[in-house]
C-alpha cells in the first residue's frame, strides 16, 4: 500500500517560548527516524506548516521549520491555515497524484492539528498510522501532556465508523 509521511507543524513558535510543546527535541529525533526510513523506501515526506497572522506568519521566525529536522530537496511542503491539513489545501491532490493510499502521521500539536488531520484522513478513506511517540503538545492547565496524548491514542484507535482505522504504533514498529 503506497504510504506517505505527514510531518505536521514542527515549527519554531511551537517549540520555544512560554507555550512550547513538551519533549520537542525527542519528538524531532523520532520524526527524523521516520523521515529517513520513508525516503529510503521511496515514500513521500510532506512537511505541513501552519500559517496565521500572529506567531506563525509566513516567513517569520516562528513559522520556520525547526532546525534539526532532516529535510531533503525532494520533500514536499504544504501550507495550511486550519487545524486539518486537508482543509482548503492541496494535500488530497498531492496524495492522489502520487497514488498514496495510506498515511503515517506525526508532529505537533496532538489535540489540534494532529488529531484533526487523522480524523479527516480516516473520513477520506486513508488508513492512518499515528506515530505514538512522535507527536506532542503543550501543557493546557487541565490535563498533562501525557494525559492528552493517551486520551487521543485511545479515541483515535477506537474510531471505526469510517471503514478504515487508525493504528497507534511507536516509531520503532513503523515500516513504509
pLDDT in tens, 108-160: 999 999 999 999 999 999 999 999 999 999 999 999 999 999 999 999 999 99
- The pLDDT tens digits of the residues spanning 68-105 come to 999 999 999 999 999 999 999 999 999 999 999 999 99
- The pLDDT tens digits of the residues spanning 26-64 come to 999 999 999 999 999 999 999 999 999 998 999 999 999
- The pLDDT tens digits of the residues spanning 5-18 come to 999 999 999 999 88
Q: What pLDDT shows up at residue 1?
A: 77
Buried-exposed string 152-168: b where 16+ CB fall within 10 A, e elsewhere: bbeebeeeeebebbbeb
Q: What pLDDT shows up at residue 176?
A: 95
pLDDT at 19 over 90: no
Backbone angles phi, psi at 43, to 5 degrees: -85, 140
Residues serving a catalytic function are 113
Nearest to 66 by CA among 23, 128, 130: 23
CA distances from 45 to 38, 98, 167, 168 (A): 7, 12, 19, 19
Nearest to 65 by CA among 79, 53, 47, 89: 47
Amino acid at each position: 500500500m503506497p504510504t506517505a509521511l505527514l510531518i505536521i507543524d514542527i515549527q519554531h513558535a511551537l517549540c520555544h517560548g512560554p507555550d512550547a510543546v513538551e519533549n520537542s527535541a525527542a519528538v524531532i529525533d523520532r520524526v527524523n527516524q521516520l523521515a529517513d526510513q520513508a525516503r529510503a523506501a521511496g515514500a513521500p515526506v510532506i512537511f505541513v506548516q501552519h500559517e496565521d497572522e500572529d506567531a506563525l506568519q509566513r516567513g517569520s521566525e516562528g513559522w520556520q521549520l525547526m532546525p534539526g529536522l532532516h529535510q531533503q530537496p525532494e520533500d514536499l511542503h504544504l501550507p495550511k491555515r486550519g487545524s486539518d491539513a486537508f482543509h482548503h489545501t492541496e494535500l488530497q491532490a498531492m496524495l492522489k497524484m502520487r497514488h498514496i493510499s495510506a498515511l503515517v502521521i506525526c508532529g505537533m500539536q496532538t489535540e489540534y492539528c494532529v488529531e484533526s488531520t487523522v480524523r479527516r484522513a480516516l473520513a477520506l478513506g486513508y488508513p492512518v498510522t499515528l506515530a505514538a511517540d512522535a507527536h506532542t503538545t503543550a501543557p493546557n492547565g487541565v490535563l498533562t501532556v501525557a494525559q492528552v496524548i493517551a486520551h487521543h491514542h485511545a479515541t483515535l484507535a477506537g474510531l471505526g465508523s469510517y471503514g478504515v482505522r487508525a493504528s497507534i504504533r511507536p516509531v520503532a514498529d513503523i515500516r513504509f
